[in-house]
Structure 1
Amino acid sequence: MSYRIAEAAKLVGVPTTTLRYYEDIGLVEAPARGRSGYRTYDDADIARLRFINATKNLGIPLSDVAEPARAYDVEDCSSVAHQVVEMVAERLTETQARIGELVALAAQLQTVSARLAGAPTAGACGADCPCATAAPAPLADRRTFVPLTRSPALQDQSATPIACSLDAGAVTDRVSEWQSLVQRASSREPISGGMALTFAVSAGLAAEITLLAAAEQDCCSFFTFTVRLTTGEIRLEVQAPADAADVVAAMFGTAA
């Protein structure tokens, strides 16, 4: 079939200006024009544009989308998919790092908020008042829980909160520890309520996994960790409530 630009844009799910922009930056070749001079798109054009848009929606820069877009018409699907997988892996690493940074920032903001709530009700601000102190000091004998989801389930006070009690300075290091461990897994598979990771058996690695899981469960009590040792392998099962599914995927990955 043949489609005009407005029809093509509607099928792809973008404004017509986006299709023109793709042409302007050389991401796609200019489509054929009909007798009236209007751009016309065929089904192959629509499929290619949907691929570009889907890849862009993963947060991959358009400059990086250009290479698999060129390969889309001339290479096997597996080759194109491999290029996208590599980009997704890089994007996932960046996103996981940002999660650690954002959780650390949230912890700092919660600490500052708690200190400001204790400001005196009378008197002028001074060097020692809470609002004049930029760097938050740790709250004595008090753990700060940073919510990791906006799920309504958090309103249930009897439920285990989807939250982390690590102080801000430790969050990024903890996320890095998990990322390093997950990269050493030989396989990952989804299980009910979470993810299972398999590692080659090693007494030192088993101890490392167990200690890290215990430390994580202490600050994020919504996680359940199970470590199984069998001949030749270590299996770590990570489970959490449904509301924490995105947290599990961000920290422990998805099925490989």
Structure 2
Amino acid sequence: MSYRIAEAARIVGVPATTLRYYEDIGLIDQPVRGANGYRAYDEADLARLRFITATKNLGIPLTDVAELVKAFDVEDCSSVAHQVVEMVAVRLAETQTRIGELVALAAQLQTVSARLADAPTSGPCGEGCPCATAAPRPLADRRTFVPLTRGPVVSAADAPVIACSLEAGAVPDRIGDWQALLARAVRREPIPGGTAVEFVASPDLVAEAARLAAAEQDCCTFFTFTLRMTTGHVRLEVQAPEDAADIVAAMFGTAV
């Protein structure tokens, strides 16, 4: 069965202009044309386009997607999947670092907003007015309280606050510490309300997991951490309210 470009684009979930762009940059070969002169996409073309769309939606750059497409056309699925996993790991590390940067920026913006709200109701701007001095001093030694969801910070009177009070300047380092610890994980599995991460036991790992869990719970009180130790294994369980599920996944990963 063959499909015109509009049909193929609709099935794959992208605009027809995107398919033409992929042809222009050499990401895909131009499909054959029927007797009527229209592009004709077959099932193999659609499979390739679905793969491109899926990998691109993960934030993988098109230059890397192009390399993956070459592998998709000639290599076994397991080999292609391994390459995608490696690129996703890079993207995940970048994203987790960016989370730390964005939380720190949110803290700064929140502070600026509060200072500007105190601007006088009359008189011109001048030396010392909030408009000229809105940018806060370095926040490394200041406590902040930054909402981490788009909706209301508190959804019910007895609900935990989905927010972080970590010193803004310390957020990237905290994310980096978690990344270093979680890189040693040997297994993940879903649990009610969160994720369980398992490690091979060692004294330094147990100490670091306990330190980070205690520090994280201090600034993000919506988290619940449980550390279980058995012979040769350490299990860190991370749970949070449903509204914070994306935060758990972003910071601690999900089961594969």
Q: For 2:17 and 2:171, how far apart are their aligned partners in 1?
A: 42
Q: For 2:223 and 2:16, how far apart are their aligned partners in 1?
A: 46
Relative to structure 1, the CA distance from residue 249 to residue 47 in structure 2 (aligned partners, 3 Å threshold; closer, same or farther) is same
Q: Deviations over 1:27-70 (max 9, x none)?
A: 11111111122211111111111111111111111111111111
2:102 partner amino acid: L
Is 1:160–2:160 an aligned residue pair?
yes
Shift of the alpha carbon at 1:151?
3.5
Shift of the alpha carbon at 1:95?
1.0
Q: For 2:10 and 2:185, how far apart are their aligned partners in 1?
A: 43
Residue 40 (structure 2) aligns with: 40
- Contact 2:32 / 2:39 at 8 angstroms: preserved in 1? yes
Q: Percent identity?
A: 74
- Contact 2:115 / 2:134 at 8 angstroms: preserved in 1? no
Gap runs ≥5 in structure 2: none
Residue 169 (structure 1) aligns with: 169
Q: For 2:205 and 2:83, how far apart are their aligned partners in 1?
A: 32
Q: Deviations over 1:219-253 (max 9, x none)?
A: 00000001111111111111101111110011111
Deviates most, 240-249 or 110-119: 110-119
Q: For 1:122 and 1:6, how far apart are their aligned partners in 2?
A: 59
Q: Deviations over 1:161-212 (max 9, x none)?
A: 1110112111111111111111122222221111111122222321221111
1:83 partner amino acid: Q
Shift of the alpha carbon at 1:158?
3.0
1:235 partner amino acid: R
Please list, as runs of the form range in 1=range in 2, the aligned pairs for 1:64-143 lying within 5 A after superposition.
64-137=64-137, 143=143
Shift of the alpha carbon at 1:116?
2.4
Gap runs ≥5 in structure 1: none
Shift of the alpha carbon at 1:120?
3.9
Q: For 1:228 and 1:115, how far apart are their aligned partners in 2?
A: 45
1:67 partner amino acid: E
Residue 179 (structure 2) aligns with: 179
Residue 239 (structure 2) aligns with: 239
Q: For 1:69 and 1:22, how far apart are their aligned partners in 2?
A: 12
Q: Deviations over 1:112-156 (max 9, x none)?
A: 2222223344555443333322541489xx953211112457342
- Contact 1:111 / 1:138 at 8 angstroms: preserved in 2? no
Residue 188 (structure 2) aligns with: 188
Residue 2 (structure 1) aligns with: 2
SS at 1:81 equivalent:
helix
2:10 partner amino acid: K
What TM-score does the superposition give when structure 1 sets the normalisation length? 0.92
